[in-house]
């Protein structure tokens, strides 16, 4: 619903594309890289007790800024605003575990994939009927608005990335319940098996972190699908994109990405998974 | 007359039958509430054992009869106070029935209240208050202009005012927030989250308040204006010295409601990434997968803030009604 509302707003507003190299100039003159991410998406990005942002995405972003030779600032607009594109110079780059979908690539560019994630179905621990992803067909599944799960469950997720796996649709005819953010889908699941929803979709790291934090959930094996996650920038700035691509490639080559992945996920998620 | 009849105000004439049924009605309500909370306790296994549940229900019934006995010999204002307390206890019992981890609330309270700065800027309840106060000032000015425009005989002023009021009352505030945040940059004006939020809130509430102010101005008896004119006052003088002070008295209650509504609608600014109360509640709660705790704390803070505003409103009402008898 909200995505449609957004699309119509964007149609009404005439778009001005970012001029080439403008972002690089701005980063140089401001001596800082402004990164959009989420403050409520552990373990990728979240607030610690002192209100400092932590997590895999935050560490990756901080490292990228370091390699640009500038300081870093994180801003936290709602997900819908990030995926809408046309950021109006408010932030330079999104490092927020974004799936590079074909639909999103009409307004955003994805210069670099930085890790790969498995998406899983989670159910309340009391559930006995859902044991494989297929079992959730026709069930009420909770997700966050605008997440790529929405497209997966509708059967039209098209990834816009080199080497992305072909998507197999395992869950048919699900009754999708889109909440304000993924966390609310998990909260709804915590109420009990089938109270509000029968299952929720989330990324494997999030599911494991939630279970570790005491959420009464069971993670369904095998994962529903795998996808690459990308750094995203506003449309039409190849110079800036090329620099980011170079930096992320260097971080992969010298093992920095792997170290961060082990630190936050306890596993190396920096190379594609073979099913 | 028996003493207990004093507990009813003269305005509400309670038929005797009603009065007899009231304690039973209360009993039903409290029993149901106690039952629900007891069931919730059992469901979460936090207390466990049906004996505890029975004890809770039993204690509830006892408390209720004790309450009724006290109420029968209290005057109106004391009764009100006791009933406030009862309802508050019920609310707290309802919240206690959730499976909550209270240390999450206390740990995050300083950030929720905004006692600390984030990157040298306000956050939490302090930012919410800042956004509200700024919007209240701007919205009041806008509303006054729009109200005068709508009362104006000049076609331009009238048209601009009615168009503005119609658009901003007729579209969702959330959409206005997004239009200002995403739309203005297309024209080269890039506002950050807080100013964009303040502008959207001011424009939206200015439109609602314009109609309230117009109604207030029109409610001032025509004789007042005519009398002032016959004394030789100019039109601006009549407006500022005669009409607006009297209109103010009339519009304080509805305007007060608007301010309270604005306090809560300011949470919409969080979608732009401004770290106000609602945002902090969600972000800190989700970091520990403990959303409910911080949301309940935020609810309490919002409520206290609006209670303060209600108090301010009643004080203002008293101040402005001092001359009311003379102007009649």
Furthest-apart CA atoms within chain A: distance in Å: 58
Q: Say yes or no for a CB contact (<8 Å) between A89 and B284.
A: no
Q: Give the Cα separation of A184 and B291 in Å (integer).
A: 8
| Residue in chain B lying closest to A183 (CA) | B286
Report the DSSP beta bridge partners of residue A32. Answer: A71
Q: Give the Cα separation of B147 and B159 in Å (integer).
A: 12
Sequence-distant (≥ 6) Cβ neighbours of residue B151 within 8 angstroms: B214, B217, B218
What pLDDT digit, counting tens, does each position of A65-117 carry?
A: 999 999 999 999 988 889 989 888 889 999 999 999 988 999 999 999 999 99
Instruction: Indicate the DSSP class of residue B185.
Output: G
Token pair of B12, please? Answer: 């509400």
Q: Are B276 and B266 in contact (CB under 8 A)?
A: yes
B175 touches chain A (CB under 8 A): yes
Q: Say yes or no for a CB contact (<8 Å) between B183 and A13.
A: yes
Q: Say yes or no for a CB contact (<8 Å) between A81 and B181.
A: yes
Sequence-distant (≥ 6) Cβ neighbours of residue A194 within 8 angstroms: A124, A127, A140
Q: Give the Cα separation of B202 and B279 in Å (integer).
A: 20
Q: Flag whether pLDDT at A153 surpasses 90.
A: yes
pLDDT number for residue A11: 44
pLDDT number for residue B107: 86
Report the DSSP beta bridge partners of residue A108. Answer: A234
d(CA A89, nearest CA chain B) in Å: 8
pLDDT number for residue B100: 84
Instruction: Indicate the DSSP class of residue B276.
Output: B
What pLDDT digit, counting tens, does each position of A31-72 carry?
A: 999 999 998 888 999 988 888 899 999 999 999 999 999 999
Percent of chain A at pLDDT > 70 equals: 91
Chain B CB contacts of A217 under 8 Å are none
d(CA A274, nearest CA chain B) in Å: 31
Chain B interface, best mutation among A42, A76, A216, by max B CB count within 10 A: A76
Q: Say yes or no for a CB contact (<8 Å) between B289 and A75.
A: no
Size of interface A-B (CB pairs under 8 A): 91
B50 touches chain A (CB under 8 A): no
| CA nearest neighbour of B162 among B175, B172, B147, B174 | B147
B111 touches chain A (CB under 8 A): yes
Task: Count the neighbouring beta carbons within 10 Å of the beta carbon of residue B79.
Answer: 20
Q: Which of A40, A80, A187 sits opposite B287 (nearest CB)?
A: A40
pLDDT number for residue A138: 95
d(CA B36, nearest CA chain A) in Å: 15
Chain A interface, best mutation among B126, B285, B289, B292, by max A CB count within 10 A: B289
d(CA B106, nearest CA chain A) in Å: 11
**B196 exposure class (CB count in 10 Å sphere: 0-12, 13-18, 19+):** buried
Q: Tell me the pTM.
A: 0.76
Sequence-distant (≥ 6) Cβ neighbours of residue B223 within 8 angstroms: none
B3 touches chain A (CB under 8 A): no
| CA nearest neighbour of A228 among A145, A144, A166, A178 | A166
Q: Say yes or no for a CB contact (<8 Å) between A75 and B273.
A: yes
pLDDT number for residue B289: 82
Q: Are A179 and A142 in contact (CB under 8 A)?
A: yes
B4 touches chain A (CB under 8 A): no
pLDDT number for residue B1: 43
Chain A CB contacts of B176 under 8 Å are none
pLDDT number for residue B19: 61
Q: Say yes or no for a CB contact (<8 Å) between A9 and B284.
A: no
Q: Give the Cα separation of B259 and A143 in Å (integer).
A: 34
- The dihedrals phi and psi of A16, each to the nearest 5 degrees, come to -115, 120
Q: Are A70 and A31 in contact (CB under 8 A)?
A: yes
Token pair of A71, please? Answer: 């300081």
d(CA B93, nearest CA chain A) in Å: 19
- The dihedrals phi and psi of A175, each to the nearest 5 degrees, come to -90, 100
Chain B interface, best mutation among A90, A191, A209, by max B CB count within 10 A: A90
Q: Give the Cα separation of B279 and B269 in Å (integer).
A: 9
What pLDDT digit, counting tens, does each position of A168-213 carry?
A: 899 999 999 998 888 889 989 988 999 999 999 999 999 999 999 8
Q: Flag whether pLDDT at A2 surpasses 60.
A: no
Instruction: List all residues of chain B from 260 to 289 with a beta carbon under 8 Å from chain A.
Output: 270-273, 275, 279, 282-289
Q: Are B33 and B90 in contact (CB under 8 A)?
A: yes
Ordered strands of the A53-54 beta sheet = A40-41, A45-47, A53-54
Q: Say yes or no for a CB contact (<8 Å) between B273 and A86.
A: no
- The CA radius of gyration of chain A, in Å to the nearest whole number, is 18
Handedness of CA A58, B298, B316, B214 (dihedral sign): positive
Q: Are A188 and A200 in contact (CB under 8 A)?
A: yes
3-state secondary structure chain A: CHHHHHHHHHHHCCCCCCCCCHHHHHHHHHCEEEEECCCEECCCEEECCCCCEECHHHHHHHHHHHHHCCEEEEECCCHHHHHCCCCCCCCCEEEEEECCECCHHHCEEEEEEEEEEEEEEEEECCCCCCCCHHHHCCCEEEEECCCHHHHHHHCCCCECCCCCCCCCCCCCCCEEEEECCHHHHHHHHHCCCCCCCCEEEEEHHHHHHHHHCCCCEEEEEEEEEEEEEEEEEECCCHHHHHHHHHHHHHHHHCCHHHHHHHHHHCCCCCCCCCC
**pLDDT digits (tens), chain B, 328 positions:** 444 444 444 445 555 556 666 666 766 676 676 666 666 655 555 444 456 666 766 777 777 777 777 777 778 888 888 888 888 888 888 888 887 888 888 888 988 998 888 777 899 999 999 999 999 999 999 999 999 999 999 999 999 999 999 999 999 999 999 889 888 887 888 888 899 999 999 999 999 999 999 999 999 999 999 999 999 999 899 988 999 889 999 999 999 999 999 999 999 998 888 899 999 998 888 888 888 899 999 999 999 999 999 999 999 998 888 766 554 4
B196 touches chain A (CB under 8 A): no
pLDDT, mean over chain A: 88
d(CA A13, nearest CA chain B) in Å: 6
Q: Which of B118, B186, B292 sits opposite A13 (nearest CB)?
A: B186
Q: State how far the alpha carbon of A44 is from the alpha carbons of A41, A48, A58, A61, B261, in Å.
A: 6, 12, 7, 11, 35
Q: Say yes or no for a CB contact (<8 Å) between A77 and B292.
A: no
| CA nearest neighbour of A79 among A173, A146, A129, A20 | A146
């Amino acid at each position: 619903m909200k995505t449609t509302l957004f699309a119509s707003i964007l149609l009404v507003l005439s778009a001005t594309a970012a001029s080439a190299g403008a972002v690089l100039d701005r980063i140089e003159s401001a001596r800082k890289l402004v990164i959009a991410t989420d403050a409520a998406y552990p373990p990728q990005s979240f607030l610690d007790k002192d209100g400092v942002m932590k997590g895999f995405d935050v560490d990756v972003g901080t490292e990228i800024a370091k390699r640009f030779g500038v300081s870093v600032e994180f801003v936290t607009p709602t997900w819908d605003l990030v995926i809408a594109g046309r950021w109006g110079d408010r932030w330079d780059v999104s490092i927020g575990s974004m799936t590079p979908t074909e639909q999103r690539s009409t307004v955003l560019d994805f210069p670099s994939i930085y890790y790969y994630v498995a998406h899983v179905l989670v159910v309340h621990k009391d559930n006995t009927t859902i044991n494989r992803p297929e079992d959730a067909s026709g069930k009420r599944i909770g997700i966050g608005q605008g997440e790529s799960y929405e497209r997966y469950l509708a059967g039209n997720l098209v990834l816009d990335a080199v080497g992305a796996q072909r998507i197999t649709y395992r869950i048919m005819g699900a009754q999708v319940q889109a909440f304000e953010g993924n966390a609310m889908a998990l909260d709804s699941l915590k109420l009990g098996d089938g109270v509000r929803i029968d299952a929720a979709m989330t990324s494997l790291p999030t599911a494991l972190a939630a279970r570790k934090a005491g959420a009464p959930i069971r993670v369904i094996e095998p994962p529903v699908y795998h996808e690459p996650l990308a750094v995203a920038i506003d449309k039409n700035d190849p110079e800036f994109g090329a620099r980011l691509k170079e930096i992320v490639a260097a971080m992969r080559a010298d093992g920095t990405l792997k170290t961060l992945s082990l630190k936050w996920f306890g596993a190396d998620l920096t190379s594609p998974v073979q099913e | 007359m028996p003493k207990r009849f004093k507990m009813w105000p003269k305005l509400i004439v309670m038929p005797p039958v009603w009065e007899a049924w009231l304690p039973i009605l209360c009993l039903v309500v409290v029993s149901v509430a106690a039952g629900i909370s007891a069931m919730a306790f059992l469901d979460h296994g936090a207390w466990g054992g049906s004996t505890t549940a029975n004890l809770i229900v039993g204690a509830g019934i006892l408390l209720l009869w004790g309450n009724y006995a006290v109420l029968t010999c209290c005057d109106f204002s004391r009764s009100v106070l006791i009933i406030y307390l009862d309802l508050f206890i019920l609310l707290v019992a309802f919240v206690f029935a959730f499976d909550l981890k209270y240390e999450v609330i206390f740990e995050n309270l300083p950030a929720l209240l905004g006692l600390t700065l984030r990157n040298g800027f306000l956050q939490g309840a302090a930012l919410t208050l800042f956004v509200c106060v700024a919007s209240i000032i701007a919205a009041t000015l806008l509303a006054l202009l729009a109200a005068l425009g709508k009362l104006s005989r000049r076609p331009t002023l009238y048209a601009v005012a009615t168009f503005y009021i119609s658009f901003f009352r007729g579209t969702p505030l959330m959409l206005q927030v997004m239009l200002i945040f995403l739309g203005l940059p297309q024209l080269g004006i890039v506002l950050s989250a807080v100013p964009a939020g303040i502008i959207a809130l001011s424009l939206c509430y200015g439109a609602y308040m314009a109609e309230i102010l117009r109604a207030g101005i029109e409610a001032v008896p025509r004789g007042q204006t005519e009398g002032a004119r016959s004394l030789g006052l100019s039109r601006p003088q009549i407006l500022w010295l005669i009409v607006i002070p009297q209109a103010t008295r009339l519009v304080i209650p509805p305007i007060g409601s608007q301010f309270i509504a604005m306090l809560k609608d300011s949470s919409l600014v969080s979608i732009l990434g401004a770290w106000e109360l609602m945002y902090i509640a969600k972000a800190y709660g989700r970091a520990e997968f403990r959303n409910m705790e911080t949301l309940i704390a935020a609810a309490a803070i919002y409520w206290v803030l609006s209670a303060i505003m209600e108090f301010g409103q009643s004080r203002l009402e008293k101040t402005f009604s001092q001359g009311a008898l003379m102007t009649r």
